[in-house]
Amino acid sequence: MKATFSLPVLGFALSLCSQAFALPQSSDLATRDTADGACTNGPLTRACWSDGFSIATDFDQKFPTTGNTVTYNLEITNGTCNPDGHGERICFLINGQYPGPTIRASWGDFLSINVTNSMQDNGTSIHWHGVRQYNTPGADGVNGLSECPLAPGQSRMYEYNVTQFGTSWYHAHYSSQYGDGTVGTMIFDGPATANYDEDLGVYPINEWYYQTAFQINAIASINLQNKDPVPPADNLLINGTNQDANGNGNYSQVTVESGKKYRLRLINMSVDNYIQVSLDSHPFEVITADFVPIQPFAAEWLVMGIGQRYDVIITANQSAGNYWFRSNVSEACQSANNFYGRAIWSYSSEPVDTPYSTEFTEPTTCTEPGPLTPYWSQSVPSDDFQSSLQNMNVNLTQAVVVPNGNAIVVWSLNSSINVDWENPTMSYLLNGNTSYPQSINLVPTVSSGSWNYWLIQQADGIPPIPHPVHLHGHDFFVLGQGTGTYNANNASLNFDNPTRRDTATIYAGGWLALAFNSNNPGSWLMHCHIAWHISEGLGMQFLESPDSMVMPDKTTYDNECSAWSSYYQDAYYQKTDSGI
């Protein structure tokens, strides 16, 4: 039997205020910073949106319906790419490009995305990172949970309402495939907590390997057995490009106009490394953490875990010239790399040239930036935290499993996850079969409207390293993060409008306390976003309110699974890891 949870029903105590209003005035904009009567979104009224929706809307409860359907066709092919000039390598392209195209929709739109797998030798499934998938748990794109993998030659529709706004990315959830190119970015336009003139769009940051992700993943698994570190990456890409160590390749180049404010959407699309980013002489004004708008704060460097996003505003108010935008692995977070990322930011009045700008002092600790105070305040009841500790306390550790007669070391979150591509959780749900195998590490949530509390502790005796923990279907509330062993007597926890986001770091050897409300029926993966670690089992899934889940169309679902089974029975490559 699974652990039973006995938390009382404590729903949200929220007023559903979504009154339109203007942002607090900032001195440089004081004379113009007022919203008009209808609160139309514009450079000086970014808090506004439309029809009574604004930055003060509680988007977990209320979101617009525009009636617009935004369609995309994404075709994945097996090609090559050469993002830093070092040389062509195998790369899975989306519509012929790496990274894939940016999906852009507005808050309240309906997204209809047709994904076609034109690779020869891999299945795939595409996950829309951070998207709540409210009433569409079947569109979460996790093979082994919400769907069977999409077989070569097949297409699949992912359709969902855009109930959130901000910046994110999409990526394959088929083992470590996304490290080989099946990634792209997403923008959901909506209101913001600070004003800006122009939106520069997405700026994904990720590391780059000269071997394929499947090769590195295999090496990482061997190294895990021998307690050796994973291989360092070869380069870092900024917006999909960089020069290599020999000066081949091209820098990303951005031109700004003196006096303007720019919104830039930073996305960490890495597979392994903690990266810190900075623009010389131009501090960032940070306005979102993942999909959650926050009270703006200034930061010279941002340390980003995989999957994390920060939208920042950059004010072009320095001497006209050229400046380095820097990304580098975070040594404090024990990330290693063979090279670093650079991009050139230039003022339009000056010719583009090699910058001689000086960097801000690099951070020396592995600490997530903050305070990340959500703009829309929500608090978490604290009364039941202690009493539920014994049910919610899980160890992040390593375990030895014996899948085929050979003992292998895997990562575990209480226990390890290992999905069955041919029998996803959704198949159990559609067939009314509740005999879940232990290997899928499924844990029921508490009843609808109640709070789930989780304390994840890194166990002793394993390498103490930071892990970015990501939850699907929810923004979790980060009640606390600490180093060492959690101690109820002196741990500092915050229940009063804590940080909400979908990815947070469990520090090296430390603990992470999370809460989320059961308000989104579905089966949701929680996992370490280091691709090698989830491949090695570091995840679990929550089954939330299955009785009120909106199921996918069974005929379509079954057809996709049949197509997968007939492909997979004599596929050349078989599953060698957790499958996700």
Site residues for Cu ion per CB under 5 A: 467, 528, 530, 533
Q: Which stretch binds ligand NAG (CB under 6 A): 54-62, 120-128, 367-375, 494-502?
A: 120-128
* Closest listed residue to residue 377, CA positions, set 3, 55, 146: 55
Angle at 84 between CA 466 and CA 311, to 5 degrees: 50
Residue in the structure block whose two tokens are 């820098």:
251
Residues 390-419 close enough to bind ligand NAG by CB under 6 A? 391-395, 414-415
- Report residue 146 as tokens: 């919400």
Distance of CA 315 to the CA centre of its chain: 26
CB 504, min distance to ligand NAG, A:
11
Do the Cβ atoms of 473 and 522 come closer than 8 Å? yes
Q: How far is the CB of 496 from ligand NAG (least distance, A)?
A: 26
Nearer to Cu ion, 205 or 530 (CB): 530
Exactly one of 10, 29, 70, 200 binds ligand NAG (CB under 6 A); that residue is 200
What does the radius of gyration of the chain's CA atoms come to, in whole angstroms?
A: 23
DSSP single-letter state for residue 552: P
DSSP 172: E
* Cβ 75 to Cu ion shortest distance, Å: 31
Interaction of residue 315 with ligand NAG, rule CB under 6 A: yes
Alpha carbon distance 412, 7 (integer Å): 26
Contacts of 300 (CB under 8 A, 6+ apart): 278, 283, 284, 360, 361
Verify binding: residue 499, ligand NAG, rule CB under 6 A.
no
Q: Does 214 bind ligand NAG (CB under 6 A)?
A: yes
Residue 45 near ligand NAG by CB under 6 A: no
What does DSSP assign to residue 243?
A: B
**Per rule CB under 6 A, is residue 53 in the interface with ligand NAG?**
no
52 binds, among Cu ion, ligand NAG, none (CB under 5 to 8 A by kind): none
Residue 136 binds ligand NAG (CB under 6 A):
yes
Span of 388-396, 493-501, 520-528, 558-566 interacting with ligand NAG by CB under 6 A:
388-396
Binding to ligand NAG in span 234-263, by CB under 6 A:
239, 249-250, 252, 254
As given in the structure block, the two tokens for residue 33 are: 């910073």
- What, of Cu ion, ligand NAG, none, does residue 254 touch, CB below 5 to 8 Å by kind? ligand NAG
* 517, amino acid identity: N
Residue 533 interacting partner from ligand NAG, Cu ion, none (CB closer than 5 to 8 Å by kind): Cu ion
Residue 518 contact among ligand NAG, Cu ion, none, beta carbon within 5 to 8 Å by kind: none
Q: Does 388 interact with ligand NAG (rule: CB under 6 A)?
A: no
CA distance 72 to 70: 7
- How long, in residues, is the chain? 580
Scanning 51-59, 304-312, 488-496, 531-539 for contacts with ligand NAG by CB under 6 A, the matching segment is 304-312
Give the footprint of ligand NAG on residues 268-297 (CB under 6 A).
Answer: 268, 270, 273-275, 277, 283, 285
Record the tokens describing residue 299, joined without a space. 């930061």
Q: Which residues pair with 203 in a beta bridge?
A: 266
Q: Quick one: 500 or 533, whose CB is closer to Cu ion? A: 533
Instruction: State the DSSP H helix or E strand holding residue 555, giving kind and residue range, or none if neither.
Output: helix 554-568
